[in-house]
Structure 1
Amino acid sequence: MILDKIISYINIKRHGLIFKRNKMELDLYSLMSQGKKPKNLK
């Protein structure tokens, strides 16, 4: 079914976005734990 492929594609995209966001938060946390301020946050 084409619909199943579309739904699975959307789910993969959503999981990718969640993964990227979590990775960014992890990077921010590691930066702050080192005592450095991230450049994009003021």
Structure 2
Amino acid sequence: MKFALITVALLTSIGFTSVASAASKAKGQVLVETANCESCHGA
């Protein structure tokens, strides 16, 4: 039973991580499209 709970917890955390990663990538893409490079990178 413990093993099943650990597996569910791991899968859940992996799922949340991938969703968060996808969301941050999408947000980054929007920033790149709406702002110029200097504003993000300070170049």
Larger Rg: 1 or 2? Answer: 2
* Aligned pairs, number: 40
Structure with the bigger percentage of helix: 2
Which structure's relative contact order is higher, taking Cα pairs within 8 Å and 6+ residues apart?
A: 1
Q: List gaps (5 residues or longer) in structure 2.
A: none
TM-score after normalising by structure 2 = 0.74
Q: RMSD across aligned C-alpha pairs, in angstroms?
A: 2.0
TM superposition shift of 1:20? 1.0
TM-score after normalising by structure 1 = 0.75
Q: List gaps (5 residues or longer) in structure 1.
A: none
